[in-house]
Amino acid sequence: MAHLDRAVISTADDAVLAKLSCVEKGYYQDAFIHSMAKGVKGANSSSSAGGRNSSSSMEPIIRKGTHARVCAVDKAISAFLSLQLEEDTSNARGRRQVVILGAGRDTTYLRYRFGYLKGFEENQVDWFEVDHPFVIEQKAHTWLCNSAPAGYKYNSEMNVATGVSYRASFSSQDASDANDSTYHLIGHDLRSPPSSLFEKLSDPFHGYDRSIPTIFVMECVIMYLPDEASRNLLRYLAGNGAEADQNNQVDSFVTIAMYDPIPNNDRFGQVMLNNLQKRGITGQTHEDGERREQLSLERTPTLSDHLAKLNKCGFDIAVGCHMMDAYDYGIVSIDDRRRAARCEMLDELEEFVLLMRHYCLCVGVHSTGDRYKAAAATLCSDGNDSPIGFQEGRCTIVHS
């Protein structure tokens, strides 16, 4: 495996450690985070010697920032799944699709499956996770095996036709367990042509359907892609690829939710870039001396750049804000902020504000057909009726 691949994959370990530290401090509930963190250095805080990456040694501002990240992404997914859509007769049950790109050790599906994310139990949700084949192998064969709650059995079946991909489930003898969501794990390098990703997703074994309302979620993922590869991927997600052209008679509703750093062309942002360069992720050349294409992080350093990019790649409406505004003005709820305040005091307030202003949440929507226009406008709206919580004067909305 190339050094760059190892460096990027290792960032999933950093993320799960930060989430584990949040859960251990009581910021939010996640019964699956310990299983998902198994094997990560520093994950067993009770026995750890307190190394640099130990969950017990995380600074409070990292925990508070990570908690805000979890709350914001959960809010975007919940808003999409709860959105009232004019369904056609073939989708009477309100079927939705969630696709987590660069899923790593993410537990969102497990939290949805076992009742930690509520409000849309009547919808059938088909859940897809996409990541590097090495990560998907680990998740399917190790991490998920240890995640089944008492009374449930984890099952997985490999799809040899599409390489490293699986259909997984958690079965129970409990008759009251009526959850009929499907769960799929797809091995794919997001730097590869997106057409190959959609071939895997659309394979009958997995059953992804462009006509079903879908949200794509990317948490600190697009930042690591070469800029042109990231734009090609976004165009395909919005339905502007060759495969989508064959289905242009079908109404579609596509949402993207992205959580990403924004260097903001300032000194703090440069420190962020320098830290990534030390890990071999950014920089002018590869380890073999070959010139490296600039990453999306380097080419989209501001919130405005992210929103403009979404527009240019085919998303009709895009809305976003930096995470300090998300925290203070409605996306992170009052209850979540109060819970965080009870967990621990924060002495480095100025540093926390600076950090949060260098991350953003962006949501974009592309829809075809008249019946989805109102829903698209609602999802990307601001004000008191915003389902995600974006507030006027504290976010930016752009239209194509």
CA separation, residue 61 to residues 54, 65, 280, 287, 327 (Å) = 15, 6, 25, 33, 13
Rounded to an integer, what distance in angstroms lies between the CA atom of residue 91 and that of residue 78? 19
Strand partners, 184: 128, 167
CA distance 85 to 213: 9
Q: What is residue 236's DSSP assignment?
A: H
The residues facing 295 across adjacent strands are 226
Say whether 357 sits in a helix, a strand or coil.
Answer: coil
Structure tokens at 144: 């998920």
Q: Which of 55, 67, 71 is nearest to 340 (CA)?
A: 67
Kindly provide the residue ranges of all beta strands, DSSP E only, lying in 208-287, ordered along the sequence: 214-219, 252-261
CA angle 71, 155, 217 (to 5 degrees): 30
Q: Taking every pair of C-alpha atoms in the chain, what is the biggest distance, in angstroms?
A: 60
pLDDT, tens digit only, all 400 positions of the chain? 677 788 888 889 999 999 999 999 999 999 999 999 988 987 764 433 334 445 567 899 999 999 999 999 999 999 999 998 876 555 555 789 999 999 999 999 999 998 888 666 667 899 999 999 999 999 999 999 989 998 899 999 999 887 899 999 998 877 566 677 899 999 999 999 999 999 999 999 999 999 999 999 999 999 999 999 999 999 999 987 645 444 456 788 999 999 999 999 999 999 999 998 888 887 655 555 556 789 999 999 999 999 999 999 999 999 999 999 999 999 999 999 999 999 999 988 999 999 999 999 999 999 998 889 999 999 999 999 999 999 999 999 999 8
**Around Cβ 254, how many Cβ atoms within 10 Å?**
25
pTM: 0.92
What is the distance between the alpha carbons of residues 181 and 122, in angstroms, rounded to a whole number?
A: 11
Residues 6+ apart with CB under 8 A from 369: 251, 252
Pair 127, 98: CB distance under 8 Å: yes
Per-residue pLDDT at 212: 93
Q: How far is CA 159 from CA 31, 185, 190, 338, in A?
A: 29, 10, 19, 45
Q: Which of 103, 104, 17, 113 is nearest to 66 (CA)?
A: 17
Rounded CA-CA distance 264/270 in Å is: 9
CA 332 to chain centre: 16
